[in-house]
Structure 1
């Protein structure tokens, strides 16, 4: 398959095309991509995931494909040491391994007589993968695609309850897991909580004393345990040819991260996923035609997987990070990707670090002038190309990502327009905001056009694989007549149902196949959509005003001051309160100014003291209030009191999902005492005087 180039001249004033005769009461017309229309599967298009692999294999058979940095220290070391180079497997080597693994998996199912999970008239033979990103994760997934099995991914950071729920809900008899998870699985098996699980395949070698102990334990609880090397040897003795699969066959069940409820199992077919791979060929390309991606976003999430499929179909290479967030920049600088899929939190950190590092002297003035000039050109022409300012000012920022990034996609959450503009001018590459989507549409729905001078803050128009419309949300005052409403999407990339969950399926997919996203959008005259609100996580304050908590959090989080921010409302109160986890550099700066003594960002004790100071808290709230004013938040939407904490929300303390979204109930419970105490102070007289606790 080949890339389809952009037209020679892009018309930014026409990014969505109305389908005649589709407008009805309570909804806009249907809109499609204005350049290519609605592109569906054709006889010569990519229809299955094994085809994606075969295309990459044909293009780059003996070239590097999957790489990792070998671990030089003991796995049990607190600070693991990795080699300063990558070890590679070629496409041909991965092909041999996927066939051996797939053949062995088929034998295990036949030998065990394992039944699949039944839903919607289908029987699916499910296989779980519970591990951090690594080459073996992807090789196992390729094997499952090729041999008709349904992959079920578990986030590496999932807790016991979620793991138990997913294994049981998806009736998983066979699970691939890293060695760090084997004990947890055997404990669940010992307690009789996962009776469907029959065999575990450890992705790491079990040829050690510890491995021998684990094998004996597995035998005691009636679960088979072998390592990946043994499974491959079994498969190599009788390699089978891959099975014929169709676009209608289920490829995977991808569980949502569950911010407010039990995770939902999204059933995705080969056709769903390959329609996205096909769509990514329209307008996108890589230097030299081949992608080079560093894998650090969780493969259990659909966003990372569709990005990797795009690289595979180009015949490109994928390097795996060391899975240490603190070492991400070192991984990037060693690997030097040309394609960087990311999320707003990473770009926010680059923005915040760059602004803080510029300082206030001559260097800072030159930096700010460079940003001002390049943003001016960006807003006028859409161009952010290489120039003198890149040589003088921005080269170091570009080097943070390895210096060769040509394409950045940013998805999973909104990002402030000023941050997006900064990233575009500082990195001088094609930055696509609005790799906008959700698990239910394979992470694909809308995208911005390259070099669109007015696209910042929007997520662009429809992708070629789907159409969109907006529908009324009367409770929130949004009406399709004003081109504002809940975003609905329909196309071959969209799922049909949740696993064993008719209620949520009916609430999400209507009779005409439209997926209701829960996001409220506003379409401009050019056909671009801006995310302006969220149907879910809406609450009513005591005086009757509706507030969208996620939207307010996202707007406040654009402040360089806020590393994390949680907004809380109580239906018996008339105002909002919140928890702010400040960036140490910015907290140190504010504290030094307010307290009249130097406070260093590395001095944890001094920062903790500053966080408890009433004047420092008031200053922090004042800075956040500037962000609220910039975004024209109404009075009742603004934070009136805050608690400042240096204890971040994390996956480990249960306050973040594996995709790093806030679990609202758990975040509130973590700071219940402090938040309730803020309300106990009574009605605030002014936002500045309110930061008393």
Structure 2
């Protein structure tokens, strides 16, 4: 982000707070902590009266930029980026919103409008149209699955959906028997005659995007902008079991997070300028991307959209030369692997690269973040140019990044790389690492908009008195609840307003938070997808050759592995009949052909039960002895002791992942 002062200096930067004292404990029974940047111990909700809603934030950006470039896109792979200015976005949003009203939608905060699209300028214009007239956007996305999308359209009572492609129109029409409340579908690309015919036969009106803008231009409607307490979006989380939950996020909540991030970064002299550029490729259906884009709009800077094809992302980055680069571990891991494969190809290059890394590590420990050292010139220039050459800030979220990759990237990219922690229900983020803190393995202190406490989880032996427990968040950024689901809302929000995240955290001696476990047996894979292992185990146990199954994954890995105990009666019989193997079960467990058969059986049963590819194990270790209370792998009520199983099979799990990587 355009800096007040340059960080490309050898004296280093001064962190915004003392790195050994990053958060402060409040008095009282909760032992809650707040950021040391909180003034007078108060949480920050907004900074200026003219920017308390997302619509006001955008208008502020228009003023600061003097109606500068706002949204960029590539009309085709061979054409350069084109830009639309801030005032044009606001004007088109006004027209589009008025057009929706002319179709019959009401300009109230109870009107939910679906958006089923990749990131592009029209997505942002649609959002601003909603905010101009107090409506609420509801993103739909393919990875939710058909049943979940049907559920969302019905629960949120969506009568109009905006689509970017005719293919997505077809997806909606395919489901029409389950989603009969859809009356209008608006399409960004040229309308397909086939889709018009299909829609008409179902009583759905298909409109071109330009038609709705023209309708609003010809039928203007007085603006009815949203208030801070109004909903801005209903963001459905994919969930791990059952149907998705619609998290109701308010303008106040998102704005509080945006100004909290601004406070956090400005304290370290990271100030965004109107000339700064962010690349948008992470889904706008998720709160993380929306937060970052709003941060850019607050300062009148620019957002450039990728072409929609991840395979061309590096080309887009090279042309756009972003200064702000939001990312996720999956992408950074791939980037790391690509760099290292090039380095390892030459012993000389590897030797020099390791020297350069060691020297840059020394600088990081002194708080020096720069890309002008001799090592940058000799060894890291190509790495930096691969990200466009102008990146000033990288923020990573959605899942943890391994300490090895984070440390490596901080050395060679030459700009702050910060890891944050949060979830949709707290408007995306609740903690963020301090600029200049070279340590890895933590997610930083609380942001200035929220308190964080650790609640006792006695059944897992985590206690707040030992600085460990369930992470709970309270502040203006916490969501209002789940749409039409008071039971799940009550599970997430307690009577005192604390959001119970389900994650287990630990306060480190320096006041930063570290995520160490999960309360329920749910975890994220590296790509950010939640997995419920017990659900998968309950499917796999149907395999005739299997007696017990333990499914494992974690947020540093992109797939699942498992430990399987074969059925002591069925496997020997099967091996003798089908494989002509008459061996003791201990020997069968070590046999590669037996393992191959068991893994194929698991995958087959999983497919028939509807498990997604991410829910299927990619490798198994066959263990001949039953999990039992006696060997410490089951509880007295015969439930799997997951932490014990993880420890017991630690080496086998590592070996499987090593082979898969």
TM-score range (shorter-chain normalised) is 0.7 to 0.9
The correspondence for 1:18, drawn from 15, 18, 25, is 25
Q: CA deviation at 1:260?
A: 3.1
| Deviations 1:608-643 (CA, angstroms, capped at 9, x unpaired) | xxxxxxxxxx9xxxxxxxxxxxxxxxxxxxxxx999
| C-alpha distance in structure 1 between counterparts of 2:115 and 2:509, whole Å | 45
Matched, 1:392 2:397: no
Tell me: CA distance 1:516–1:4, structure 2 relative to 1, closer, same or farther (3 Å).
Answer: farther
Tell me: CA distance 1:482–1:386, structure 2 relative to 1, closer, same or farther (3 Å).
Answer: farther
Q: 1:384, 1:425 within 8 Å by CA — same for their partners in 2?
A: no
The correspondence for 1:468, drawn from 449, 452, 462, is 452
1:351 match: 336
Q: CA deviation at 1:386?
A: 3.1
Matched, 1:239 2:223: no
The correspondence for 2:254, drawn from 273, 278, 296, is 273
Matches within 5 A, 1:330-349: 330-349=315-334
Q: 1:374, 1:384 within 8 Å by CA — same for their partners in 2?
A: no
1:64 match: 69
Q: CA deviation at 1:213?
A: 2.7
| Deviations 1:517-545 (CA, angstroms, capped at 9, x unpaired) | 1111111122101111111226799xxxx
Q: CA deviation at 1:375?
A: 1.7
Matches within 5 A, 1:247-646: 247-284=228-265, 285-286=270-271, 288=273, 290-359=275-344, 360-381=346-367, 383=369, 386-434=372-420, 436-454=421-439, 456-537=440-521, 553-555=554-556, 557=557, 564-568=558-562
The correspondence for 2:82, drawn from 87, 90, 94, is 87
Tell me: CA distance 1:83–1:62, structure 2 relative to 1, closer, same or farther (3 Å).
Answer: farther
| C-alpha distance in structure 1 between counterparts of 2:302 and 2:48, whole Å | 28
Q: 1:84, 1:334 within 8 Å by CA — same for their partners in 2?
A: no
Q: CA deviation at 1:679?
A: 5.2
Q: 2:257, 2:427 within 8 Å by CA — same for their partners in 1?
A: yes
| Deviations 1:212-246 (CA, angstroms, capped at 9, x unpaired) | 33222211101111110111110011223421321
| C-alpha distance in structure 2 between counterparts of 1:146 and 1:264, whole Å | 26
Q: CA deviation at 1:378?
A: 1.9
| Deviations 1:83-138 (CA, angstroms, capped at 9, x unpaired) | 2411111112212110100111122225xxx799xxxxxx7110000011111111
| Deviations 1:458-515 (CA, angstroms, capped at 9, x unpaired) | 0000001101000111222211111011110000000021011112111111110100
Tell me: CA distance 1:682–1:475, structure 2 relative to 1, closer, same or farther (3 Å).
Answer: closer
Matched, 1:184 2:171: yes
| C-alpha distance in structure 1 between counterparts of 2:92 and 2:68, whole Å | 16
Tell me: CA distance 1:369–1:255, structure 2 relative to 1, closer, same or farther (3 Å).
Answer: same
1:526 alignment partner, SS class: coil
The correspondence for 2:199, drawn from 198, 218, 229, is 218
Normalised by the length of structure 2, the TM-score is 0.79
| Deviations 1:422-461 (CA, angstroms, capped at 9, x unpaired) | 1111101011111x1100001110011111133x110000
| C-alpha distance in structure 1 between counterparts of 2:104 and 2:147, whole Å | 26
| C-alpha distance in structure 1 between counterparts of 2:393 and 2:50, whole Å | 24
1:612 match: none
Gap regions ≥5 residues in structure 2:
6-12, 523-532, 538-548, 568-589, 628-647
The correspondence for 2:126, drawn from 118, 121, 140, is 140
| C-alpha distance in structure 1 between counterparts of 2:297 and 2:305, whole Å | 14
Tell me: CA distance 1:48–1:62, structure 2 relative to 1, closer, same or farther (3 Å).
Answer: closer
2:207 alignment partner, SS class: strand
| C-alpha distance in structure 1 between counterparts of 2:405 and 2:615, whole Å | 31
How many residue pairs align between the two structures? 568
Normalised by the length of structure 1, the TM-score is 0.75
Q: 2:507, 2:514 within 8 Å by CA — same for their partners in 1?
A: yes
Q: 1:46, 1:278 within 8 Å by CA — same for their partners in 2?
A: no
| C-alpha distance in structure 1 between counterparts of 2:401 and 2:607, whole Å | 24
Q: CA deviation at 1:9?
A: 6.1
Higher mean alpha-carbon deviation, 6-15 vs 478-487, is at: 6-15
Q: 2:114, 2:161 within 8 Å by CA — same for their partners in 1?
A: yes
The correspondence for 2:139, drawn from 153, 158, 163, is 153
Tell me: CA distance 1:4–1:19, structure 2 relative to 1, closer, same or farther (3 Å).
Answer: farther
The correspondence for 2:37, drawn from 26, 35, 43, is 35
| C-alpha distance in structure 2 between counterparts of 1:337 and 1:3, whole Å | 14
Gap regions ≥5 residues in structure 1:
72-81, 117-122, 542-546, 558-563, 574-617, 619-640, 656-662
1:124 alignment partner, SS class: coil
Q: 2:462, 2:468 within 8 Å by CA — same for their partners in 1?
A: yes
1:32 alignment partner, SS class: strand
Tell me: CA distance 1:642–1:489, structure 2 relative to 1, closer, same or farther (3 Å).
Answer: farther
Q: CA deviation at 1:654?
A: 9.8
| C-alpha distance in structure 2 between counterparts of 1:330 and 1:50, whole Å | 32
| C-alpha distance in structure 2 between counterparts of 1:520 and 1:376, whole Å | 32
Tell me: CA distance 1:488–1:4, structure 2 relative to 1, closer, same or farther (3 Å).
Answer: farther
